[in-house]
Every structure is written in C-alpha cells, then in structure tokens.
Amino acid sequence: MTCAEVQLLLSEYIEKSLDTVRMKAVETHLLSCGGCHAETEGLMDCIRQISELPLLDPPIGFTQRVMAHVRDIESRPAGWRRVLAPFRIGPPIQATALVLVAIVAVFLYQKESQIRGNPASPAVPSILPSRSLSDDHSAGKPEQPVASAQRRADTPRQANSTANTVRSPMRESRKTASAAAVADQSKPKTPSSPDPEANSAGDVKNPLSRRGPIQAQEIGTGMEGLRSSSDSFGFGPTIGGSLRPGFFLPERSLSPVTEPSADAEFVVRRRDAQTRDPNSSVRSESARQSAESDIAPAVAKQSLASPPSQSPSINVREIRWFAVPADQYNQFRKDLASEASIDSEKTIGASERDFALQSNRELLIKVIIVSPAER
Amino acid sequence: MDRSNQTKEMVADGISDAECVRRVQRGETDAFETLVRRHEKTIFNLVYRMLGDTEEAAEVSQEVFLSAFRAAGQFRGDANFSTWLYRIAINHASTRRKTLNSRQRKVVPIESADSLHDPQPGPLEILEQQEIREKVQVALNQLEPDDAAVILLRDLQDVSYNEVAHVLEIPVGTVKSRLHRARQALKSRLKSYFSAERKAV
C-alpha cells in the first residue's frame, strides 16, 4: 500500500470502520511509515478536539420563546397579513394612512384650482358679452314679465318645476318624467305654489336663480350645483324644465379622478351680443333689456374699460354638466346651437343613444364654454 | 459522551418524534413543544459551532424550529425528524455564515462557559483548554460551511455515516471523502498550534 492510498483510508481507519483486511494493511503501513503515522496522530487529535468540545445549553427560555412564535404563526392568518407582519403595522393603520393621503391630495388639488381660478374672476366680465345667457329663458316665452319684481315673482314656478323633477326618482319611466316637465311648462304661471316643499326650495334658490350662469362672478363660486336648472344656460322651458339641478356639478369639485365620463361633449363659444339669440322676439328683447338694465350697462362698461390683452381671464373656460333625457338630446343640442356656436362636439353614438332611450337613462353631457377670444 | 444517547432518550418518554410530528400535522401544537425540547440542545450546539456566536446561534436555532413548524406539513416521515431538522439547521447556519462573512466579520471570543463542562480542571488546565477550543472554533469557522457541517455532524454530534448522507443528501462514499478532506483541512489549520504544543511538552 502506498502512502497516498493509506492517507485516503486514515479517517475510516481511525473510526475503525474499515474491513479487517484493509485495517490490517493500514496498520502494517503505519508501523513502518513515520509520515503516515504523524498524519494519523494529527487527524486523531483533530477528531478528539471536536468531540471534546463541550455541549452548551441553549439560552434559558428558548423553548418558550420558540413556542410563543409558533402560536403567533398559528393564530396569524396566512397570506398578505404574513407579508405585513415584519412591519408590525396592522392593515387598519395602513388603510387609514391611505385614506388620509387621498383626502389631503383631493384637498390640495381643489385648493390649487381655486387659487388658479380666483384671480381670473374679477376681470371676467370684460370678455363676456353684455348680454348674459341668463336672460334667455325669456326666449320662448313671450309673456315673460317685464319688471325684475315680476321676474322674481316668477321664480317659484321655476322652483316648482325643479322640485318636481328632483322628486321624480331615476327609475321613473322616461314618459312620466317628460310628462311632468311638460305639465310644469303648461302650468299657468301662478306665483304661489301648492307645494310647500317646492316653495321652500324656491326660496333657497331664488337669489341664485337671478344670476346669469356664465357671468364672470360665478366662475369660481362653486355654486353651479345650486343654480336653478331652468335658469342655467338660458335654455327655454323645454330643456330647462327637464334639467336636474342635482346634475349641475360644480366643475371645481371634479378632479381628473372624480370626473364622470360624459356621453356627449361640446365645446361651445360664446357669441357676441349682436349675433346671439336670433330667435328672440322683439318684445322679449326689449323686456330683457329693461329687466337687465341694471346689470348689462355695467358689464358693457367694464368690457370697454379693460382691454382684452390685460385680461388674465382670456382663457377661462367654464365646464357645465347637463343631465338630459335621451329623447330630448336633439332638442338640447338645437338649443345649445342657438345659444352659442358649437366649436366641436363629440356626440353620442346612435346605438348608445338607443340603449339610453330603452333604459330610460339620462345622458350626461359636458359643455365646455370658451370665451369668444380664446383660440 | 451523552450526545449519542439523546435519540434513545426521546423515545423513552413514550412518544416518538414521528408521532409528535403527526400530532403537529393534526393541529396539536403542544406536540411541537416536545420536539423542541428534545432537539434544542443538539440544534443549538450544531449552529453555535458553525457560527461561533451564541447570540447568533440562539436566533438561527429559533428560526430553524419555526421553519420546521411551518414546513411540518411537508414532513412525510420517510426520514428521521432529527435528520430533517439537521438539514434545516445546516441550511440556515450556512446562509447566516455567508451573511456574516460578507460583513466585516467580528472576532468572536469563545465564551468561558466552555470550560465549565469539564470535571475538576485546575486553573492552568482551564486556560489551556480554553485556548485550544478558541483555536478549534476559529479553525472551524474558517472552513467551508459544508466541511464544517460534515465534521460537526460526525465528530461532535456522532451522527452515523448513513444519516450524514441523508442530511447532506449525498452518497455515503461522498460523505467519507468529504469528511476526510474536511478533517485534513482542519488539521492543517490547527497544525501550527499542535506542533507548538508538542515542542512545549
């Protein structure tokens, strides 16, 4: 046996795990070979050193600690909670944090748009036509009262129709809704309403209904949602009576996240006073002018006073949301076209409209009103 | 040495490891406590010798048992529970060794508890034995984790070749050659110390 062969067997020789023939052979070699003998002694020393290492006791309470963790694992639901466990934060805290962050984000977004919107407000009248769109609910109504006092007396009727529309639930059939609207319109304009609820609603909305919706003061007030429906955008009673005030969403509250998707979208341009309202009768025109004589000249003066170049509000856009019954969509579009020039429109598809008609759904229409000066 | 008798003690209290595992698998968590008590010392010492630090060893040993508990459902009983546990321990200890080595490895003093286990040593003997053990521990920590594991299983824990083969999932022949290679590596690291000792004698 060579030294190399013996060296390979030394470990087993020391452990006496070799067969007797090889045990004898190694033993014989070791007696005659000093090198291999020293090697064997070194290995035996090594094994002894390891085997004589004392066994230490585990730390006191080791088992209890392990079992505490084991019971913790057992009581913990599997899955994502286990992933969160190292952070030692319960999911409710994280959810709360998330909600807080979302609230702060929305708040900041609204704040920012308010800051951007407010400086524009004072100067807006300069770009507005002297005739506000608000006067136009006189358009289809030759018997429109002349004095502002009379107009004020007329408001409960508007509120009444508004209240009727509001009270009719969404799922109510389209026919009923439009019938109610028609009934409201055909109702003689008695200043007093039999419905006390409607009266109170009218009282609340009364001051707001006096304002023209596109008057500059309103951009940035956030009160659009409270505006009387028949008064907004100055549509005649056909559309105005069926518009639901609840759908007049103040544009400022619409962050990109919360903005609903519109069924149709119009970009309209305000017309100059001279070109607007071709349908208005002479009578209503004169009535309007006398009714608004207290407002219009002031606006016109402002308009003359401030040159457009200095107006920071030149690019102010106003966004209006309308909820229109599907069967009145064409009428809405026609009235819109008579009120303002439609720059561009993204109308609802025929099939979508048919579906809306069948399902009694109201169409959500977004109208972006740009000033005549805006490119 | 009492270390080889540990397995026999385990069955002495009536319930085998395999039965304990079956109970754990049935949801009897208390049965796992029996397993921990039986094997904590073996596992703690194996891990401690591989890492050379009692605190690290306690932490890793705990992880070993928790891993075993989590994976108890996968234990099929075709091997000894101890074999299975050794494998988990060596895997955990090897991983920790690599982590510790990748950091700046601190020089770990071998705690004086080592000397308390020997019967009636004189003050000089205590010093000498302690010195040797420190050298041995340092040498062990300088070995490859696989080499240290095979030496510790065979020479410290007195695990049979067959079981070592099962633990490391290698053939018995490979265990023998690896053990021989590991012992020689350890011997060459301790050589300078032993030769100095011999000269002194």
What is the model's pLDDT at position A259? 63
Cα distance between residue B98 and residue B51, in whole Å? 10
How far does Cα A61 stand from its chain's mean position?
56
Any residues with CB less than 8 A from the CB of A181 and at least 6 apart, and which? A161, A164, A165, A238, A241, A242
What pLDDT, on a 0 to 100 scale, did the predictor assign at position A348? Answer: 74
Query: Who among B65, B114, B184 is closest to A66 (CB)?
Result: B65
Q: ipTM greater than 0.90, yes or no? A: no
Cα distance between residue B175 and residue A365, in whole Å:
80
CB contact under 8 A, A50 and B151: yes
The two structure tokens encoding residue A274: 């001279």
Residue range A331-336: mean pLDDT, rounded: 83
Q: pLDDT above 70 covers what percent of chain A?
A: 44
Q: Which of A178-182, B94-98, B152-156 has the lowest mean pLDDT?
A: A178-182
Tell me the shortest Cα–Cα distance from B144 to chain A, in angstroms. 16
Question: What's the one-letter identity of residue A39?
Answer: E
Backbone dihedral angles phi then psi of residue B14, each to the nearest 5 degrees: 105, -30
Residue B154 tokens, joined: 């065979």
Q: Phi, psi (5° rounding) for residue B114?
A: -55, -45
Which domains does chain B show, CATH number per domain? 3-108+121-200 (1.10.1740.10)
pLDDT grade for B156, boundaries at 50, 70 and 90: very high
* CB contact (8 A) between residue B156 and residue A66: no
Tokens for B99?
A: 């982590």
Chain A's closest residue to B181, CA to CA, is A8
- pLDDT confidence tier of residue A374, bands split at 50, 70 and 90: low
Q: Does B136 touch chain A (CB under 8 A)?
A: yes
How high is the pLDDT of residue A167?
42
Whether residue B36 and residue A67 make contact (CB cut-off 8 A), yes or no, is: yes
pLDDT digits (tens, 9 = 90+) for B72-128: 888 887 788 999 999 999 999 999 998 887 775 554 444 444 544 555 666 777 777
Interchain CB distance below 8 Å, A49 and B3: no
Four-CA torsion B65, B43, B149, B151, nearest 10 degrees = -160
Model confidence at B168, pLDDT cuts 50, 70, 90, reads: very high
Chain B environment of A55 (Cβ under 8 Å):
3, 41, 45, 117
CB pairs under 8 A between A and B: 102
In whole angstroms, what is the distance from residue A195 CA to residue A345 CA?
Answer: 39
**Confidence category of residue B152, pLDDT binned at 50, 70, 90:** very high
pLDDT of residue B163: 93
Q: Looking at beta carbons, which residues of chain B come within 8 Å of A57?
A: 41, 44
**Least CB-CB distance to A58: which of B44, B49, B183?**
B44
Which pLDDT belongs to residue B100? 84
Q: Quick one: pLDDT at residue A278? A: 44
Mean pLDDT in chain B? 82
What is the rounded average pLDDT of the residues B179-195? 83
Please report where in the chains the tokens 């006496």 appear, as a residue. Answer: A16
d(CA A177, CA A20): 108
